[in-house]
C-alpha cells in the first residue's frame, strides 16, 4: 500500500497550469512499452511533485498495480501482452467506482481510436505523442482539480460492515435437517474448518507479500465456503475486504482471523450438540 507523503511546495508549470495544492502526494502509474515515453512522462510528473511508478508492458503492469495504490494512470493502448484497453477494464473490475484511478490513454500515431471504446474502458483523457510537457500537466491539473477527495486522500480501512450474527441459525438448522445417523453435519463442519483455515493462512501469506489479486481470489473462495454454512459475519467481512484488497493491512487480517475463530467456536459447539463430534 502506498503511503501518501506531504507535498511542501507548489510546482510552477510551463504555461498557465500548476498542480493544485494538496496535503498528499499524487501517485501516478505509467504503463508504456516505449522507454522514451516513460522517462519523459516520469520526469515531467516528478518535477510536479508526483510519485511515479512505471511498467514496460501489460503483464508487468498487472503485477505492479497489485502492489501499489495510485491516483492516475497513463496507459499506452498498444502495450505488449495485456493491451491498454484490457488493462483498463481489469483496473475497473478491481476498484469501486469512487476509488477508481483516473485513466489517460496514450495513443501512438497511426493507431485508430474509437471514442466509445475508450469511454467504455474508463479513459477520461487522451495523450497523443510526441509528449508535450504542458499538455501532460494540463491533464493532471484537470484531474486533480476535479477529483480532490478521490485523488489526494486515500484513507485506510476505517470502516467495516455492520455487526452481523456469527451464524444465521435458521440457515444452519436447515443444514442440520439433512443430518442422518452418518455424522454428515459433523463431517461437514470438520471439512469447513480444514478448508477455511487453509484459505485464511493463504490470505495471510498473500497479504504479507503484497499480492492483492491473490488475496481477492482467496477471500472470494473463503466467503463462498462461509456462506454455505450461514456464517454471516465472516461472509460479510470477506465481501467487504474483497473490494478493498489494495488497502488491507495486518489489522484487517487480524480482524478476519478473529471472525473465523468466533465462527469456529460456535461451529464446534453445534458439532458437540449433535453427539458425534469428530474433532478434539
* Integer Cα distance of 208 and 60 in angstroms: 20
The domain over range 169-273 is classified in CATH as 1.20.120: yes
* pLDDT exceeds cutoff 80 at 93: no
10 Å CB burial of residue 257 (0-12, 13-18, 19+) is middle
Position 147 scores a pLDDT of: 61
Strand partners, 104: 74, 125
Beta strands in the chain (DSSP E): 27-31, 51-55, 72-76, 102-106, 123-127
The residue to which cell 484490457 is assigned: 86
Domain ranges of the chain: 27-152, 169-273
The residue-averaged pLDDT of 128-134 equals 90
218-228 per-position pLDDT tens digit:
888 898 888 88
Q: Which CATH architecture has domain 27-152?
A: 3-Layer(aba) Sandwich (3.40)
Closest-CA residue to 136 (of 56, 46, 64, 69): 46
Of 180, 245, 190, residue with least CA distance to 214: 245
What are the φ and ψ backbone dihedral angles of 126, each rounded to 5 degrees?
Answer: -125, 145
What's the pLDDT score for residue 123?
94
Please provide the DSSP assignment of 13-69 as one string: -STT-BPPP-SSPPEEEEE-S-HHHHHHHHHHHHHTT-EEEEESSHHHHHHHHTT--
Q: Compute the residue count for the chain.
A: 280
Task: Name the more confident of 244 and 80.
Answer: 80
Residue 276, pLDDT > 50, answer no
Q: List the strands of the sheet with 102-106, edge to edge.
A: 51-55, 27-31, 72-76, 102-106, 123-127
Average the pLDDT over each of 9-13, 82-86, 108-112, 139-143 and give the range with the smallest value: 9-13
HSE, CB side, 13 Å, CA atoms: give it for residue 253: 22
State the average pLDDT over residues 227-248.
Answer: 81
* Mean pLDDT for all residues in the chain: 80
Q: What confidence tens digit (pLDDT) does each residue in 189-218 have?
A: 999 999 999 999 999 998 888 887 788 888
Among 185, 151, 170, residue whose Cα is nearest residue 273 = 185
Segment 234-252 shows an average pLDDT of: 79
Report the alpha-carbon distance of residue 126 to residue 142 in Å, rounded: 12
- Asked if 2 and 27 touch (Cβ cutoff 8 Å), the reply is yes
Comparing 159 with 59, the larger pLDDT belongs to 59
**Interval 144-181: pLDDT, tens:** 887 644 443 444 444 555 567 888 888 888 888 888 77
Residue 246 predicted with pLDDT over 60? yes
Ranked by mean pLDDT, the top range of 107-116, 123-132, 247-256 is 123-132
pTM of the model: 0.52
Mean pLDDT of 133-153: 75
Amino acid at each position: 500500500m502506498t503511503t501518501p507523503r506531504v507535498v511542501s511546495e507548489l510546482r510552477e508549470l510551463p504555461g498557465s497550469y500548476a498542480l493544485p495544492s494538496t496535503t498528499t502526494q499524487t501517485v501516478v502509474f505509467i504503463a508504456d512499452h516505449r522507454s522514451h515515453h516513460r522517462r519523459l512522462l516520469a520526469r515531467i510528473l516528478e518535477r510536479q511533485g508526483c510519485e511515479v511508478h512505471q511498467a514496460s508492458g501489460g503483464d508487468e503492469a498487472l503485477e505492479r498495480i497489485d502492489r501499489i495504490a495510485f491516483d492516475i494512470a497513463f496507459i499506452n493502448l498498444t502495450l505488449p501482452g495485456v493491451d491498454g484497453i484490457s488493462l483498463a477494464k481489469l483496473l475497473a473490475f478491481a476498484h469501486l467506482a469512487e476509488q477508481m484511478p483516473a485513466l489517460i490513454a496514450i495513443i501512438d500515431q497511426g493507431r485508430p481510436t474509437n471514442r466509445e471504446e475508450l469511454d467504455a474502458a474508463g479513459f477520461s483523457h487522451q495523450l497523443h505523442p510526441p509528449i508535450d510537457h504542458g499538455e501532460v500537466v494540463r491533464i493532471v491539473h484537470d484531474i486533480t482539480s476535479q477529483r480532490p477527495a478521490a485523488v489526494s486522500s486515500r484513507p485506510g480501512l476505517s470502516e467495516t460492515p455492520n455487526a452481523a450474527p456469527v451464524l444465521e441459525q435458521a440457515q444452519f438448522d436447515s443444514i442440520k435437517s439433512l443430518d442422518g445417523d452418518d455424522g454428515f453435519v459433523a463431517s461437514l463442519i470438520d471439512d469447513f474448518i480444514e478448508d477455511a483455515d487453509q484459505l485464511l493462512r493463504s490470505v495471510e501469506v498473500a497479504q504479507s507479500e503484497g499480492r492483492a489479486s491473490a488475496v481477492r481470489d482467496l477471500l472470494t473462495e473463503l466467503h463462498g465456503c462461509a456462506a454455505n454454512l450461514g456464517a454471516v459475519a465472516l461472509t460479510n467481512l470477506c465481501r467487504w475486504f474483497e473490494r478493498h484488497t489494495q488497502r488491507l493491512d495486518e489489522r484487517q487480517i487480524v480482524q478476519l482471523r478473529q471472525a473465523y475463530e468466533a465462527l469456529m467456536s460456535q461451529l464446534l459447539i453445534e458439532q458437540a450438540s449433535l453427539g458425534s463430534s469428530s474433532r478434539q
